Amino acid sequence: MPDRESNPFRFGDLALDHFFTDRKAELAELTADIRNGQNVVIFAPRRFGKSSLMWRAAQQLVSDGSVLVAQVDLMKAPTKERLAEKLAAAIYEEIASPLFKLREQAAAVFRGLRVLPTMIVGIDGSVSFSFAAGQASAAIDATLERLLELPAQLAAERERRVALVFDEFQEIMRIDPGLIGLMRAVFQEQPEVAHVYLGSRRHMIEQVFNDENEPFWRSAKQLDLGPIPAEPFAEYIGDAFRRTGRGISVPTLTRLLELTSLHPYGTQELAYSLWEATPAGRAAGEPELDVALTQVLRSENAHFSRIWERASRVQRLLLEALARAPGGAPQGAAYRRDHGLPGPSTVQKALAALLQDELVGNGPGGPRITEPFLAEWILRRGM
């Protein structure tokens, strides 16, 4: 008996290899920019695929030998010491090791650091670095400065193009706001290094790169990652169903994309559940889609419940109104009257908070809920 086909959709983890969907134009643009040494900042809401896009670009660049790419996730670096550890590990694994081949030679690049790290080799051969906590601030700052200088130095010595990538770059403000000035001072002298900054908190990233009073003002090309267009997403989903012995009707596929508003994570999540709800050899229709959506809402219930608990009374009223009637002018008298909302200034304050939390976004027709499935959860909650 043949093995059961694996579900062709993925959500939650990075979308690599055949799970990566479209983004052909963005991928071509990003890889070209990095090869040219161009600094880039990628704006995208949470779970929009910016990290997957960057990983796919890194795969291409490293495999063709054109660029060495070191990546640091700032969400995993809550302190300056941890940031130094992540930087050292990325430089060692993704730049020094490919250049020097021998472990001792690669590790030697850290000998000039103000604070020397402890190098830890795991039983699987993996290498990590540890900087003791409690270092003097000046010492750890000098160590970070030297680590930030190393990619450019190694690139120049070996005549290789190098890229340094920071995921969730807005977290640098939480680690230490003073690092912004230090990083900019170092990076502006590194034309041979492409610096790529990924951010999901738009208001924080825009402040860093679009405020003329900030060190990073106009220091990077801006790539705003939007939803994946409907046509390639529909083609990808339809092909994935057919490839794994199932079908999907055109109305069902259209409705699926309407429910997710083409959000990459949400679309993969609902497609995953729809595939599971569709028996092998059958085509997914409206009944299967309803089962899939119910399953997704059940899975997301804890997440949405936390959002609801944190929201103020006015924010809840506004979310309910936007779930029923997306778009429009929530501050307008008619909209407020129809949905029982308070005065315009109070609504504006609630709307600003929801926009900052990226639960709501401003579309062509006005504000609407952008968190996938939250509107549907709110509507069903009120039944």
What are the residue ranges spanned by the domains of the chain? Answer: 23-224, 230-381
Tell me the pairing of strands 67-73 and 161-167: parallel
pLDDT for position 1: 35
230-381: CATH topology is Arc Repressor Mutant, subunit A (1.10.10)
Q: What does the alpha-carbon distance between residue 199 and residue 51 come to, in Å, rounded to a whole number?
A: 9
Q: What are phi and psi of 7, to 5 degrees?
A: -60, 125
Closest CA to 179 of 166, 190, 191: 166
Tell me the pairing of strands 366-369 and 360-363: antiparallel
State the sign of the Cα–Cα–Cα–Cα dihedral 184, 188, 192, 197. Answer: positive
Q: What does the alpha-carbon distance between residue 355 and residue 350 come to, in Å, rounded to a whole number?
A: 9
Q: What does the alpha-carbon distance between residue 113 and residue 150 come to, in Å, rounded to a whole number?
A: 10
Q: Looking at this protein, which amino acid is placed at residue 89?
A: A
Collapsing DSSP to helix, strand or coil, 212 comes out as coil
Q: What is the pLDDT of residues 149-184, one digit of tens each?
A: 999 999 998 889 999 999 999 999 899 999 999 999
Closest CA to 55 of 105, 96, 13, 14: 14
Report pTM.
0.78
Tell me the pairing of strands 40-43 and 118-121: unpaired
Q: What does the alpha-carbon distance between residue 142 and residue 25 come to, in Å, rounded to a whole number?
A: 40
Contacts of 262 (CB under 8 A, 6+ apart): 227, 228, 229, 230, 233
Total residues found in the chain within this entry? 383
Closest CA to 68 of 130, 127, 153, 125: 153
Q: What are phi and psi of 157, to 5 degrees?
A: -65, -35
23-224: CATH topology is Rossmann fold (3.40.50)
Collapsing DSSP to helix, strand or coil, 63 comes out as helix
Q: What are the start-end ranges of the E strands in 200-256? A: 221-224, 247-248
Provide the 10 A C-beta neighbour count for residue 94.
21
95: DSSP letter: I
Collapsing DSSP to helix, strand or coil, 287 comes out as helix
pLDDT for position 74: 94
Question: Per residue of the chain (383 residues), what is the pLDDT tens digit?
Answer: 344 689 999 886 554 445 456 678 889 999 999 999 999 999 877 777 888 889 999 999 999 998 999 999 999 999 999 999 999 999 999 999 998 877 778 788 998 899 988 888 888 878 889 988 778 889 999 999 999 999 999 999 888 999 999 999 999 989 999 999 999 999 999 988 999 999 877 778 888 898 898 999 989 999 888 778 899 899 999 999 999 999 999 999 999 999 998 888 899 999 999 999 999 999 999 999 999 999 999 999 999 999 999 999 999 999 999 999 998 899 999 999 999 999 999 999 999 999 988 899 887 789 999 889 999 999 998 65
Q: By the 8 A CB rule, do 324 and 334 touch?
A: no
Q: Looking at this protein, which amino acid is placed at residue 90?
A: A
pLDDT for position 94: 93
Q: What are phi and psi of 102, to 5 degrees?
A: -80, 135
Distances (CA, A) of 93 to 78, 103, 294: 21, 10, 44
State the sign of the Cα–Cα–Cα–Cα dihedral 212, 213, 214, 216. Answer: positive
Q: What is the pLDDT of residues 290-344, one digit of tens each?
A: 999 999 999 999 999 999 999 999 999 999 999 999 988 999 999 999 999 999 9
For residue 203, how many C-alpha atoms fall within 13 Å in the half-sphere facing its CB?
A: 8
C-alpha dihedral (109, 110, 112, 117), degrees to nearest 10: -170
State the sign of the Cα–Cα–Cα–Cα dihedral 304, 167, 237, 251. Answer: positive
Q: By the 8 A CB rule, do 78 and 133 touch?
A: no
Q: What does the alpha-carbon distance between residue 52 and residue 59 come to, in Å, rounded to a whole number?
A: 10
